[in-house]
Amino acid sequence: MESSKNKSKLWGGRFEGQTSTLVEEFTQSLDYDSLLYAQDIAGSRAHARMLAMQGVLGSDEAMKIIAGLDQIQEEIESGNFLWNQELEDVHMNIEKRLTELIGPLGQKLHTGRSRNDQVALDFRLFTTSALTLWQEELLSLIRTFTDQARKNVDVILPGYTHLQPAQPVSLAQHLLAYVQMFKRDFERVGDALKRTKVSPLGAAALAGTTYPLDPQQVSHEVGFKDVFSNSMDAVSDRDFVLEGLFSGSVIMTHLSRFCEEIIIWSNPGFGFILLPDAYSTGSSIMPQKKNPDVAELIRGKTGSVYGRLVSLLTTMKALPLAYNRDMQEDKGPFMEAHKTVLSSLKIMTGMVSALKFDSLAMEKALKSGFLNATEMADYLTSKGMPFRQAHHVTGKLVSFAEKKGAGLEDIDLADMKKFSDLFEEDIFRVLDYKEAVNRRNTPGGTGPESIAVQIRDIGEWVDIQVKSGKCGDSLG
Ligand code: ARG
């Protein structure tokens, strides 16, 4: 087996034997952590500056180190940086290059620091950027759903339970239900962000350090507020990644639920929506087909995000304190999940804004599903009939109408009276679907007044998020 000299490795001092190429390939983490170069350099700049402020480095030394780091960032971004797998990870690749550029001074950067607290900081910075991007996309999605709701307050469709037609609702009410889910997602991500933006730098390998470091200064400089409280926890905590993956999983759950509705509604049996061409595909053999592939793929990719959450939960389970190399397996799952969550959110926003609703098909479905049966039962109850009996009488009328292939509203008053003499001419107004919706103005109900309140509240909430800039501090 090929091997390389451990002399070249930054940790090679005590090693005499050699690392095999296979082991090198197996242990390296560059595939994912080279994507952390900007965060790694930002953390190192902050560390160098803090070391100078604390008198551990001369200020001219810190300046030279920072200039070297700037040059490395430029080399990486212009594609002129030579990544070396033998050096294992992003941290050692950058440090080695720094030493090439500025000489032995480069070796001073790691004073009072370990890769254990370094990688934790890098990944906290990366996760912060990712979660902030999710929040921005969630706000766009909330706006898009709310715009569609505003345009469709007067469109009535069957609301379902058990996917069986239940009661008429406004299309706006249906769409605004998703707005509430995405609002909770935004808040959940914001909550995870609070615990992500905590700097672990200064924990060193696991026990803290003898150098007079100022962790608060580093935290402040990288855009965080808080610092770790316990060095062993700081280097072994990956809760922030797990919380990110969990929040992402719930986002995908919500997206996939709406995807399922798009898939069902676009089925000609429902015909409630016309799939936008840009978000559907045809079949290579069946010319009539228009398939909801994009919705199916978001639904399908949800599984991979869940998988990544379970993967990291399983990696972390039963790890003894403090840092363990197992934890290197945190980056792939989160980075892959991040790509999926971010692109799914973007695509959903585009797809929802392009959706066209067929209100006539929705109206037809209302009629054939007897969605005003509850209204009839409530009518009889309001005239003094006990509800159980009213339920029974209405059931008989549904069966009567079904045999005639008609809706409840099509039955003559004389026929209705055969089932109960409580029926009067005013029943027809009660059976009107629109009226049924309009009557439900209790807070959060589907009536137009309740919907207006919901739309106003969500608009105000979005404005507050945008103004407070809570989601606008992406770290690049
Ligand atoms: N590549 C490692 C990771 O991602 C960096 C930390 C390595 N630390 C160590 N002591 N081997 O976790």
pLDDT, tens digit, 9 for 90 and up, residues 102-113: 999 999 999 999
Average pLDDT, the chain: 95
For ligand 1, say whether the CB of 116 is within 6 Å of any of its atoms. yes
CB 293 within 8 A of CB 281: yes
pLDDT in tens, 183-240: 999 999 999 999 999 999 999 999 999 999 999 999 999 999 999 999 999 999 999 9
The mean pLDDT value for 371-399 works out to 96
Confidence class of residue 358 from pLDDT cuts 50, 70 and 90? Answer: very high
For ligand 1, say whether the CB of 325 is within 6 Å of any of its atoms. yes
CB 19 within 8 A of CB 87: no
DSSP SS3 for 461: helix
For ligand 1, say whether the CB of 162 is within 6 Å of any of its atoms. no
For residue 266, count other CB atoms closer than 10 A to its CB.
Answer: 20
Asked whether the predicted pLDDT for residue 474 surpasses 70, the reply is no
Determine whether 236 is an active site residue.
no
Residue with token string 């106003």 = 456
pLDDT in tens, 9-45: 777 777 777 778 999 999 999 999 999 999 999 999 9
Kindly report the CATH number that applies to the domain delimited by 116-364+461-468. Answer: 1.20.200.10
CB 67 within 8 A of CB 101: no
CB 215 within 8 A of CB 202: yes
Kindly report the CATH number that applies to the domain delimited by 366-454. Answer: 1.10.40.30
Asked whether the predicted pLDDT for residue 326 surpasses 90, the reply is yes
Task: Name 97's Cβ contacts closer than 8 Å, sequence gap at least 6.
Answer: 72, 75, 81
Record the tokens describing residue 473, joined without a space. Answer: 């501090």
The mean pLDDT value for 89-100 works out to 98
The mean pLDDT value for 397-407 works out to 94
Taking alpha carbons only, the member of 468, 437, 443 closest to residue 457 is: 443
DSSP state of 410: G
Helix axes 239-266, 115-151, angle to 10 degrees: 30
The residues pairing with 159 across neighbouring beta strands, listed in sequence order, are: 167
* Confidence (pLDDT) at 325: 98
Determine the distance separating the centroid of ligand 1 and the alpha carbon of 474, expressed in angstroms.
25
Evaluated on CA atoms 222, 228, 234, 239, the torsion sign reads: negative
Q: Which of 31, 92, 115, 117 to mutate to test the pocket of ligand 1 (most atoms within 8 A of CB)?
A: 115
Asked whether the predicted pLDDT for residue 278 surpasses 50, the reply is yes
CB 415 within 8 A of CB 403: no
Kindly report the CATH number that applies to the domain delimited by 4-111. Answer: 1.10.275.10
Any alpha helices (H) in 8-107, and if so which ranges?
Answer: 21-27, 30-33, 37-53, 59-77, 90-102
Determine whether 283 is an active site residue.
yes
Taking alpha carbons only, the member of 14, 187, 5, 218 closest to residue 117 is: 218
For ligand 1, say whether the CB of 29 is within 6 Å of any of its atoms. yes
Determine the distance separating the centroid of ligand 1 and the alpha carbon of 114, expressed in angstroms.
9
Domain boundaries, the chain: 4-111, 116-364+461-468, 366-454
**Closest ligand 1 atom to the C-alpha of 323?**
10
DSSP SS3 for 4: strand
Q: Whose CA is nearest to atom 11 of ligand 1?
A: 325
* Confidence (pLDDT) at 283: 73
* Confidence (pLDDT) at 373: 95
Prediction pTM value: 0.93
Q: How far apart are CA 188 and CA 163, in angstroms?
A: 29
The mean pLDDT value for 136-152 works out to 98
Does residue 322 have a cis bond before it (omega within 30 degrees)? yes
Asked whether the predicted pLDDT for residue 3 surpasses 60, the reply is no
Residue with token string 């912060």 = 128
Record the tokens describing residue 123, joined without a space. Answer: 């990944």
Taking alpha carbons only, the member of 426, 391, 436, 428 closest to residue 158 is: 436
* Confidence (pLDDT) at 475: 38
Q: Is 364 exposed, middle or buried (0-12, 13-18, 19+ CB in 10 A)?
A: middle
Q: Which of 37, 83, 87, 116 to mutate to test the pocket of ligand 1 (most atoms within 8 A of CB)?
A: 116
Confidence class of residue 470 from pLDDT cuts 50, 70 and 90? Answer: low
Q: Whose CA is nearest to atom 2 of ligand 1?
A: 328
Asked whether the predicted pLDDT for residue 249 surpasses 90, the reply is yes
For ligand 1, say whether the CB of 33 is within 6 Å of any of its atoms. yes
* Confidence (pLDDT) at 372: 94
- Percent of the chain predicted with pLDDT > 70: 97
* Confidence (pLDDT) at 124: 98
pLDDT in tens, 35-48: 999 999 999 999 99
For ligand 1, say whether the CB of 113 is within 6 Å of any of its atoms. no
Q: Whose CA is nearest to atom 3 of ligand 1?
A: 328
DSSP SS3 for 48: helix
The residues pairing with 19 across neighbouring beta strands, listed in sequence order, are: 4
Asked whether the predicted pLDDT for residue 457 surpasses 70, the reply is yes
Q: How far apart are CA 449 and CA 442, in angstroms?
A: 9
Measure CA of the first residue to CA of the last residue in the chain; give whole Å.
41
